[in-house]
Amino acid sequence: MRIRTLSLLALIATVLAPPAAGEEGNSEKPAAEKKICRKAPRTGSIMARRVCHTQAEWDELAAKGQSDLDRARAMERSRSMVGSSRDN
């Protein structure tokens, strides 16, 4: 009788146990991405403001900033080439 009770308890524990990390079903929503907050300077103020984005958003902002910088440098190079041709 005791073995039967222990077997039954083991079976119930197995059925009611939460799934392992790799065994989760697709019915649950994926966890929201973690927000990363950084301090950003404010124009005209000594107080910084707090800006929060996900890592993907920070990466996108960095890529956009880099492309804007590249475009500005290219424009400056083309202006300097036009200016030097005028001098001749």
- Domain of 55? 34-41+48-80
pLDDT at 75 exceeding the cut of 70 = yes
Q: Indicate whether 17 pLDDT > 90.
A: no
HSE (side-chain half, CA atoms, 13 Å) at 24? 8
Number of domains in the chain: 1
| Residue 30 contacts residue 21 (beta carbons within 8 Å) | no
At position 37, the amino acid (one-letter code) is C
Q: Does 87 map to a domain?
A: no
Cα–Cα distance, 9 to 32 (Å, whole number): 36
Token code pair at residue 52: 């929060």
Band of residue 86 on the pLDDT scale cut at 50, 70, 90: low
Residue 70 lies in a domain: yes
Distance, in Å, from the CA atom of 86 to the CA atom of 88, rounded to the nearest integer, reads 5
Beta-strand relationship, 35-40 and 49-54: antiparallel
23 in a domain, yes or no?
A: no
* Whole-prediction pTM: 0.52
The answer to the question of residue 3 being in a domain is no
